[in-house]
Amino acid sequence: MAFENIFKAIDNTLRHDEGCSTALDYVEQSSWVLFLKYFDDLEQTREMSAMLMGENYSRIISEEFRWNVWAMPLGDDGKYDISKALTGDDLIEFVNNRLFPYLQGFKALYEPDTIEFKVGVIFSEIKNKISSGYNLRDVVEKVAELKFQTAEDQHEMTQIYENRLKQMGNAGRNGGEYYTPRPLIRTIVRVIDPQIGGTVYDGACGSAGFLCEAYNYMHEHVKSTSDEEVLQTSTFYGKELKGLAYIIAIMNMILHGVQCPNIVKTNTLTENLANVQARDQHDYVLANPPFGGSERAEVQQNFPIQSSETAYMFLQHFIKHLKPGGKAGIVIKNTFLSNTDNASIALRKKLLTECNLHTVLDLPAGVFLGAGVKTVVLFFHKGEPTSRVWYYQLDKHFTRTRPMTEADLADFVAMMPNKAESENSWSIDVSNLDDNFDLSVKNPNKVEVVDNRTPQEIANEIVTLNAESQQLLDEILQLL
């Protein structure tokens, strides 16, 4: 709760700053300050560990740019000395003209697979928008209250940070591209069950929600320092086109514990699938690619099945980037299952013949707030054709005040291993499909309730209910 209150106070400060006008600005601007505080704590921990081992540790950040020099200077007693702290125009001048250029320089000085390079990338992509040095001083002092020393601290902080990403996702059309509900992501990760030693890939990673949750899941199974080294350096791979989402993804992964994320800023769809080699493939693909967008004709040429729908291009990309025997959990619009255009039919055929589409999770419309569309999750293995598809229909209603929880998906998780049949689940035989390979969600186990009342009967009931409501209201008014 302490973390949540601090972030609320930070947002309140930024609301009064001329340079910040939206929830996206609040998340972006508090993120770079938060990142520098976290990074300083990380360096302190590394330095202390080296001392205990009798080793030397050279800090990455030069002394004048360290947190306890420019942000929270210390006095002789080791406590924050406000008299030494930059504020007002002096603070803005230091941050914009000295701190940011210094950190941006890391991009040219270090190799791409280092955390120093990632720091350079972050501060090359982001700008300080906080216009008032007094507001920035207030934000810095609030962030300074956050502690990251214990696992409990880090867990609480990452939970609150995820809530802030959700806030950003609900801030508008652009922000919505960054957020997928975490209960859904955790369930998909749990079903896919990624193992240490395999690689996890998301070519449309947004704020890296899938990669962060995969790390959390796999980290619980770490048994040695070599396991941790594998998770840190050679397990998680992502691609993201948009600048803000890209830097949020890097910071999000670092805040979750992955110190050097393998995330590349690129348009994933510009890669020609004909050039994909075995070394480019991964054991696990976890993704919620953007849908409803379009790409130029020359980009569409990169795909065997040409379509202007970005989700269709991404699905082909993911199938190609999955190793034989690899496992995938991918969110896509439910219309993919039934559209009758040539691209949809060809892509369904490709999926069913090259992969084992063993499970389709049908989600209600309220899962993605504001999106206004229904989605499904496709679970498949690559390397063998599909013979049967098991469907599970999540028959629940979600709203802003009643969002999805993991408990809502518990029945699906419990039933999936045995592909059990129930009122909400059933299987189909692929050999019975028509030439369109129609995979529409058609629940044969749920009896539809048919309203046989005539329009006149319905109208009479409405009149009766209105009369009863008026009578009840009159009785209440008499009591008052």
Length of the chain: 480
Closest CA to 80 of 145, 169, 153: 145
Average confidence score pLDDT of the chain: 88
318-369 per-position pLDDT tens digit: 999 999 999 999 999 999 999 999 999 999 999 999 999 999 999 998 787 6
CB atoms within 10 A of CB 92: 21
83-135 per-position pLDDT tens digit: 999 999 999 999 999 999 999 999 999 988 888 888 998 899 899 999 999 99
**Whole-number pLDDT of residue 5:** 87
Residue 121 token pair: 């990338």
- Given the DSSP bridges, would you call strands 236-240 and 262-265 parallel, antiparallel or unpaired? parallel
48-91 per-position pLDDT tens digit: 888 998 888 889 899 999 999 999 999 989 899 999 999 999 99
Q: Is the pTM of this model over 0.85?
A: no
Query: Are the C-beta atoms of 206 and 240 separated by less than 8 Å?
Result: yes
Residue 287 token pair: 């993704």
β-strand partners of 327: 284, 381
Task: Band the pLDDT of 477: cuts 50, 70, 90.
Answer: low
Residue 244 exposure: Cα atoms within 13 Å on the Cβ side: 19
What is the pLDDT averaged over residues 6-13?
92
**Whole-number pLDDT of residue 174:** 46
Residue 134 token pair: 């007094």
Residue 233 token pair: 């350096």
**Whole-number pLDDT of residue 107:** 92
117, with CB counted inside 10 A (0-12, 13-18, 19+), is middle
Distance CA 20, CA 31 (A): 13
Distance CA 279, CA 276 (A): 8
Residue carrying structure tokens 């230091």:
94
What is the pLDDT averaged over residues 275-281?
96
Residue 67 token pair: 């947190």
Using alpha carbons only, how large is the chain's radius of gyration in Å? 26
Residue 288 token pair: 């919620």
**Whole-number pLDDT of residue 371:** 59
pLDDT at 476 over 70: no
Distance CA 412, CA 91 (A): 53
Distance CA 107, CA 121 (A): 6
385-426 per-position pLDDT tens digit: 999 999 999 998 888 788 899 999 999 999 999 999 999 999
Task: Band the pLDDT of 43: cuts 50, 70, 90.
Answer: confident
Percent of the chain with pLDDT over 90: 60
Residue 255 has φ and ψ, to the nearest 5°, of: -65, -30
Q: Which amino acid is at 328?
A: A
Task: Band the pLDDT of 178: cuts 50, 70, 90.
Answer: very low
What is the pLDDT averaged over residues 25-30?
88
Residue carrying structure tokens 């990142």:
35
234 Cα distance to chain centroid: 20
Cβ-proximal residues to 17 (8 Å cutoff; 6+ apart), any chain: 129, 130, 131, 132, 135
Task: Band the pLDDT of 479: cuts 50, 70, 90.
Answer: low
Residue carrying structure tokens 């989600």:
363
Residue 388 has φ and ψ, to the nearest 5°, of: -135, 145
The CA-based diameter of the chain, rounded to the nearest angstrom, is 88
pLDDT at 176 over 80: no
Residue 221 token pair: 């199974």
